[in-house]
Amino acid sequence: MKELEERIIKDGKIINGDVLKVDSFLNHQMDPKLFKAMAKEWKRLYEGEGINKILTIEASGIGIACIAGLEFDCPVVFAKKSKTSNTPEHSYSSTVKSFTRGTVNDIFVSNKYLDPEDKVLILDDFMATGEAAKGLADIVHQSGAKLVGIGIAIEKAFQPGGDELRSMGIRVESLARIKEMSQEDGIIFC
Amino acid sequence: MKELEERIIKDGKIINGDVLKVDSFLNHQMDPKLFKAMAKEWKRLYEGEGINKILTIEASGIGIACIAGLEFDCPVVFAKKSKTSNTPEHSYSSTVKSFTRGTVNDIFVSNKYLDPEDKVLILDDFMATGEAAKGLADIVHQSGAKLVGIGIAIEKAFQPGGDELRSMGIRVESLARIKEMSQEDGIIFC
């Protein structure tokens, strides 16, 4: 998606070689107008799929997912993180490793908010190793709902997450796919 | 706000005497259409105040704030929680106690995303003791920005937060103010 790629070039910062900082518009300060354009693009890509629920994970997926919820005209559920490994009763849960932070979180979704009739779109801001998306997909499968696909704002295509999910037969639509990046050469998209 | 009050009556659950569970539409599953109606109401209430930035706190404030950002046509910043008491350099920070969870969090906002020209609206889903709002207001004051006011979805008016902030001269607009609630008598609004 041209508008997102241009924004990444303009406002993204590469630090420590492989960390892309986009906290001026995506995951600390957020640009709701850009999120609306992204939502319209996912709506176009998944047109006719009957999506009736959006699933994301706290915290930085929530803004994107809520604005997409307006476009898709459906409820949005966010998976909560629990560090206690005490996930509440009556919930679907999975485990997510964060390679950037070196943490492991249990994530959970109340079983009231996903059911076998649901056609679910998973949305998130970033994909690298794909651990968060795999955890969310696991939760969708537990619920018996249909996973229609995954929408990602920025995929680090040089990391394995996106292709692993695609090889599992899951449709992944990333609006900006980074092929390579470095402080010297900048960002090259796929 | 009638629509929100009716939704609380319809879908809210009172548990353990004084906990109001609204996770079917506000803070686990979220209703983006309702959020849009709430955003329009805050826009009406703060019309003419020149608000150019919305500040909230992760996680459950983010969805409401992002949809409000569309109505106000301005960027949205969310304060991040850090359990380490290691807030990053170049940030404004404050400390927030959670009475419901019994936790203490440092919260922080990068100093890049608030500056003295900003006219800030703080938004959050709940107010009880007002600790989160006070922490956010503290961060706005540190930045030199003008705090125009606070918008809350549900205020527990029988707890002191809202009135304490009002007595500090801060405008607080809560869309539903609960005067009292109990499993026997249900919810009574102010």
ipTM computed for the complex? 0.96
What residues does B149 pair with on adjacent strands? B121
How close are the terminal C-alpha atoms of chain A, in Å?
A: 11
Q: Is the pLDDT of residue B39 over 80?
A: yes
Q: Measured between CA atoms, how close is A74 to chain B, in angstroms?
A: 7
Least confident of A43-47, A103-107, A136-140, B20-24: A103-107
A119-160 tens-digit pLDDT: 999 999 999 999 999 999 999 999 999 999 999 999 999 999
| B69 contact residues in A (CB cutoff 8 A) | 30, 32
- B113/A contact by beta carbon, under 8 A: yes
Across the range A79-96, mean pLDDT stands at 83
Q: How far apart are CA A29 and CA A22, in angstroms?
A: 9
Across the range A168-180, mean pLDDT stands at 98
Q: How far apart are CA B80 and CA B107, in angstroms?
A: 5
Across the range A52-64, mean pLDDT stands at 97
Cβ–Cβ gap B76/A28 under 8 Å: no
pLDDT in the model for residue B154: 98
Cβ–Cβ gap A33/B76 under 8 Å: no
How far is it between the farthest Cα atoms of chain A? 50
pTM of the model: 0.96
Q: Is the pLDDT of residue A85 over 80?
A: no
pLDDT in the model for residue B84: 56
Q: Is the pLDDT of residue B76 over 90?
A: yes
| B36 contact residues in A (CB cutoff 8 A) | 70
CA angle B115, B119, B120 (to 5 degrees): 90
pLDDT in the model for residue A16: 82
Q: Is the pLDDT of residue A96 over 80?
A: yes
Question: With helix as H, strand as E and coil as C, how does chain B read?
Answer: CHHHHHHHHHHCEEECCCEEECCCCCCCEECHHHHHHHHHHHHHHCCCCCCCEEEEECCCHHHHHHHHHHHHCCCEEEEEEECCCCCCCCEEEEEEEECCCCEEEEEEEECCCCCCCCEEEEEEEEECCCHHHHHHHHHHHHHCCEEEEEEEEEEECCCCHHHHHHHCCCCEEEEEEEEEEECCCEEEEC
Q: How far apart are CA B182 and CA B2, in angstroms?
A: 20
Burial of B117 (0-12, 13-18, 19+ CB in 10 A): exposed
A170, A164 contact by CB (below 8 A): no
| A59 contact residues in B (CB cutoff 8 A) | 58-59, 62, 78, 80
- B75/A contact by beta carbon, under 8 A: yes
- A12/B contact by beta carbon, under 8 A: no
Cβ–Cβ gap A62/B66 under 8 Å: yes
Does A128 sit behind a cis peptide bond, omega within 30 degrees of 0 on the bond before it? no
pLDDT in the model for residue A81: 92
- A63/B contact by beta carbon, under 8 A: yes
Across the range B166-179, mean pLDDT stands at 98
Q: Measured between CA atoms, how close is B97 to chain A, in angstroms?
A: 18
| Distance, CA of A136 to chain centre | 9
- A45/B contact by beta carbon, under 8 A: no
Across the range A7-32, mean pLDDT stands at 94
Report the percent of chain A where pLDDT is more than 90: 87
| B132 contact residues in A (CB cutoff 8 A) | none
Q: Is the pLDDT of residue B129 over 80?
A: yes
- Mean pLDDT in chain B? 95
